[in-house]
């Protein structure tokens, strides 16, 4: 298992520098990682490629996420707001040491 995102050190369009649970700092270039979604309309991935939204990135000490960027169905079948997050293993594979 790869380490997890412990803390976001900086978030600038569209690059996030973060501290991982192994004590190392890594850089994730979301502009490159999500390039295929740029300009794709209503995709939640396209939404985070807007500078004012991108810089609102957060961590839950496991991964990087953006709150209420998508919807999910709850147990009653009702659509509710949900965060857009990424598998931390995918983030690790798409990041480079700082």
pLDDT at 42 over 90: no
Phi, psi angle pair for 81, to nearest 5°? -60, 145
* pLDDT value at residue 37: 87
pLDDT at 41 over 80: no
Residue 14, preceding peptide bond in cis (omega within 30° of 0): yes
Ranges of H-type helices in the chain: 30-33, 44-48, 51-54, 88-93
* pLDDT value at residue 43: 85
- The pTM score is 0.90
With CA atoms as reference, report the closest residue to 35 among 47, 49, 22, 51. 49
pLDDT at 44 over 90: no
CATH class for domain 5-97? Answer: alpha beta
- Residue ranges per domain, the chain? 5-97
pLDDT at 54 over 90: yes
């Amino acid at each position: 298992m790869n380490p997890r995102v412990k803390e976001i050190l900086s978030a600038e369009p569209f690059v996030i520098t973060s501290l991982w649970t192994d004590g190392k700092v890594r850089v994730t270039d979301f502009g490159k990682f999500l390039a295929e979604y740029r300009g794709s309309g209503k995709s939640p991935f396209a939404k985070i490629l807007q500078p004012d939204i991108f810089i609102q990135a957060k961590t839950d000490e496991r991964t990087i996420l953006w709150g209420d960027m998508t919807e999910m169905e709850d147990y009653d079948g009702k659509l509710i707001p949900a965060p857009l997050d990424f598998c931390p293993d995918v983030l690790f594979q798409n990041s480079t040491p700082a």
